[in-house]
A and B are shown apart, each in its own frame.
Chain A
Amino acid sequence: MGMTMTQKILAAHAGLTEVKAGQLIEADLDLVLGNDITSPVAIHEMEKMNVKTVFDREKIALVPDHFVPNKDIKSAEHCKCVREFAARHDITNYFEVGEMGIEHALLPEKGLVVAGDVVIGADSHTCTYGALGAFSTGVGSTDMAAGMATGKAWFKVPSAIKFNLIGKFSKWVSGKDLILHIIGMIGVDGARYQSMEFVGEGIKGLTMDDRFTIANMAIEAGAKNGIFPVDDLAKAYMKEHSKREFVVYEADEDAQYEQEFTIDLSTLKPTVAFPHLPENTRTIDEVGDIKIDQVVIGSCTNGRLDDMRIAAEVLQGKKVAKGIRCIVIPATQKIYLDAIKEGLVETFINAGAVVSTPTCGPCLGGHMGILAEGERCVSTTNRNFVGRMGHVKSEIYLASPAVAAASAITGKISCPCDEE
């Protein structure tokens, strides 16, 4: 029986010629990832184990990114714990403030993940690297500890849903709108335990940053992973960023899928997820008059250079509406620097936005833009759960950088297309 792309990668890492959905396997890991929130718990667990050191000091990535630069004393203690562990075990890929970025933007940029890899990360958005044709999935801290100690993890082989993409996006429509559209269609548990495999000629027109955004939010449909075929654009990206050899896996023609959807990208409109679930989607023409207090443009979902460029294109020569806070957070130091060189940061500041050093910050209600009672935020982040960005009675509307930037100018949920 044929295998999906995900199943082929897992089989190869388990030393098997074939795997089936539902099978329990133990797979070798190419990379184990943790951040400042999840790593301290993992480090504590690993110290309880009868092991002296990590399985491979070059195959662990530790990225303090959630509450850094340290937001308070307790966060500082967590970061110190991670820093000292990294020093003690001589971890190659520990990224201190100044070189760090949001983990899921940073790792591909640093070339630490390539096609064909199996990656676990103690962060649910680890599924981002599916954009490169890797199998990557989020786990908890105990799995991270066991992974750091042994270089292995057990998995239940997932079944899959196939998304056949055709056509091209219209102006102001991007990867964020596609993944929100899909989550609206199948629900927040629509792909629970499954792979979301993206195929079709429509992929050609997706930038790498679009693909990272789409794979990143597979978890918001409950998926184990999201994955893209490795085309010339993905190969060029990896050659530019990584010295590692990559392995290209392709789904068999007779691979089994539980469900198949065809989506014509040209029919999609800018899409917004209303509080308090990413599945509560409406297209921009169905949004109505929603006044807002804050805009956040950033995160592991939409803090990449494409996102900065789109936001700057919308904000160019305009002003953020009076009384609105617009917070822009480039996801890595490189993206920040590129945004400065391209004049994007100047555009943001002239428009009245603030630009922050890389951090997950407001996305999870950590710092750098917490909401008060009753406030509303249009955010390019990934979750709009109750209390996610602050007060339990605040509201988050998930959208693309284009919609977020346009909303900052008008003070209500808007599309740049409204001006044309």
Chain B
Amino acid sequence: MKANGYVFKYGDNVDTDVIIPARYLNSSDPAELALHCMEDIDKDFIKNVKKGDIIVANKNFGCGSSREHAPIAIKAAGISCVIAETFARIFYRNAINIGLPIIECAEAAKGIEAGDEVEIDFDSGIIYNKTKNKNYQGQSFPEFMQKIIAAEGLINYINTK
């Protein structure tokens, strides 16, 4: 399984309140949530994001509230993977559970810049920065996590077992 896209780059401690502000949580429709994804730190994100694009951030991505609406909004916006130095634990769990691939890789988080074109091979964990012709070794997913992501989430995965 592979992802390929252009990078949106953010800093430390991107919290779930900026990923999807609570004022929009009166909806749980993914398409509606996606319209407001990241708007409090990057109001142009939703205008510019294209299917397959990638978010790269520094430490503690997804800290704060347990709202699953945060990875749902990111996924519905078309993002194919989030790479960060580290993730907050509830976000990590939620992302896997809804089938949004995420990879921890400090070197990639540091080296990749906004606008770079990046390809990710989830089987090997290799993150290839096409723009800068540079490879990074991220953690590859164990088989059961790959299956959850391929099934588009934990519930579908449980149902197919």
Contact = CB atoms under 8 A, between A and B. Distances in A.
Interface of A: 37-38, 40-41, 44-46, 48-50, 66-67, 71-72, 74-75, 78, 121-124, 126, 138-143, 145-146, 188-189, 192-193, 219, 222, 224, 277, 364-366, 370, 383, 385-388, 392
Given A142-B155, A387-B40, A192 B86 contact: yes
Contact of B64 (A40, A78, A139, A385): A385
A383 B17 contact: yes
A4 B154 CA distance: 30
A37 B65 CA distance: 11
B17 A364 contact: yes
A364 B28 CA distance: 16
B158 interface: yes
Given A141-B68, A192-B60, A383-B15, 16 more contacts: A37-B22, A38-B67, A48-B156, A48-B159, A124-B90, A139-B93, A140-B90, A140-B93, A143-B93, A143-B94, A188-B63, A222-B63, A222-B88, A385-B18, A385-B64, A388-B17
Given A72-B26, A74-B26, A193-B89, A140 B155 contact: no
Interface of B: 13, 15, 17-18, 21-23, 25-28, 40-41, 59-60, 63-69, 72, 86, 88-90, 93-94, 97-98, 153-156, 158-159
A366 B22 contact: yes
B83 to A, nearest CB: 17
Contact of A146 (B25, B86, B155): B155
Contacts of A45: 155
A38 B67 CA distance: 7
Q: Which of the listed residues A48, A189, A383 has the most CB atoms from chain B within 10 Å of its own CB?
A: A189
B27 A146 contact: no
Nearest to B96: A142
A192 B159 CA distance: 31
Contact of B66 (A50, A140, A193): A140
A16 to B, nearest CB: 20
Contacts of A67: 25-26
Contacts, number: 128
30 contacts: A48-B156, A49-B158, A49-B159, A66-B25, A67-B25, A67-B26, A121-B66, A124-B90, A138-B90, A140-B66, A140-B67, A140-B94, A142-B94, A142-B155, A146-B155, A188-B13, A188-B63, A189-B13, A189-B60, A222-B60, A224-B89, A365-B23, A383-B17, A383-B65, A385-B18, A385-B64, A386-B15, A386-B40, A387-B17, A387-B18
B68 A366 contact: no
B23 A366 contact: yes
A66 B98 CA distance: 23
A385 B40 CA distance: 10
Contacts of B67: 37-38, 140
A189 B84 CA distance: 14
Given A67-B26, A139-B66, A142-B68, A386 B90 contact: no
A392 B94 contact: no
Contact of A188 (B60, B98, B158): B60
B66 A142 contact: no
Contact of A222 (B25, B66, B89, B153): B89
Nearest to B59: A189
B28 A44 contact: yes
Contacts of B98: 140, 142
A224 B88 CA distance: 10
A41 B68 contact: yes
Nearest to A120: B66
Nearest to A142: B97
3 closest cross-chain pairs (CB), A and B? A140-B94, A74-B26, A140-B68
A377 to B, nearest CB: 15
Q: Which of the listed residues A45, A67, A78 has the most CB atoms from chain B within 10 Å of its own CB?
A: A45
